[in-house]
Structure 1
Amino acid sequence: MELIALVLSSLSVIGLVIAGLLLRGYLPSYVAEKGKNLASKEDLAHLTGLVESVKALHISELERLKADLLAESQTTERRRRVYEEMCFVLRVFISGHGGTPEIKELFHATYAAAWLWATDNVLVSLNHFIALQVQRAADPASVDQPTMKGAYTAIVIEMRKDVGFGGTVASGSDYQFVQF
């Protein structure tokens, strides 16, 4: 029995030594690999967080830019409509185009809309034209028709610049006044 106990004890010690040798060679590499994986996982989580925060920042910036462009586009479209109406109603001041009460009322409404939507350059040109009209109404000989037409075309050129034709080469002398 003693012999069996001694053999079993020896086998146990030999088994423990073999297990220890295996663990000594395997366990450090296993732990090292697990450590690298954990570090990689943490690095990946950190990098993913950074990428997502930058992505969110760019998305919010892109959405803000889209909103700004949409607002600018809507403003430009509104200006175009007001400017089209203004070109139509300013005809009331051009000789030979007549001025019905309806067109005069439309002029007042369009002039008010221009003060909301037009740029300063357009308003300056428009007010210069109106001032010439007031001067002419007081003394018809004080302002001739070519001066009035020049002031009118200056408004049209400023409106063209404002709605996207900033580099226009057209001038007031290119505008043709046609009467039937």
Structure 2
Amino acid sequence: MNILLQIVEIILLGLLLIMIFFKKGINDSLSGGIGALADFKKYKNQDKLVQKRDVYIELVNSMRIFIKDDGFNAHESRDNQRKFLKAYDQSWLWSSDRVQHSLSEYMQFKITYNEQIEKLSDEEKNQKKLEEQKLFAKCVLEMRKDIGFQDTDLTVEDYKFIKF
């Protein structure tokens, strides 16, 4: 699919350049060609941004398996695990380093927590739950920054976890 997209992009760029040559003439085509290349790069960057957004939506939606308190039935659990693993794999292809670092930090927390859960008191479990929520929110904030909200004033404390 990715190669097909690249082939389509090359064909579109070629057609755009041909149109510029015929419309403006050979003498004016250099400046028009540079503008067309800039437009094409803008289109390509926009396409990457849309892809990142889609991956991040799937990732955040699938990460709910880690924070849902009331559990899932066996079928739901397997389905949600598959969705998360697919989104996690895609994030390694599309996300920024900052997003991957925050996601890895969250995943490491979950691994460590799962190894310790039997030994923790209820109070320690509650503390770990708060720590987990902050790490989860950090992942979401890094995703927001990566798709264009770099100047956000939001913090991990602004992200709320709601129980119904």
Where do 4+ consecutive residues of structure 1 move more than 3 Å?
none
Cα deviations by residue, 1:129-168 (Å, 9 ceiling, x for unpaired): 0000000110023770111001100000000001111101
**Normalized against structure 2, the TM-score is what?**
0.74
Structure possessing the higher radius of gyration over alpha carbons: 1
Deviation at 1:57, TM superposition (A): 1.6
* Relative contact order, higher structure (CA 8 A, sep 6+): 2
For residue 116 of structure 1, the aligned residue among 93, 96, 100 is 93
- TM-aligned CA deviation for residue 69 of structure 1: 0.7
1:27-176 to structure 2, matched below 5 A, reads 53=27, 55-96=28-69, 98-99=71-72, 100-140=77-117, 141=120, 144-176=128-160
* Alignment correspondent of 1:9: none
Identity across matched positions, percent = 24
Aligned residues: 129
Partner SS, residue 167 of structure 1? coil
Check 1:138–1:175 CA distance in 2 against 1; reply closer, same or farther (3 A cut): same
Shift of the 58–161 alpha-carbon distance from structure 1 to 2, 3 Å rule, reads same
Residue identity in the other structure for 2:54? R
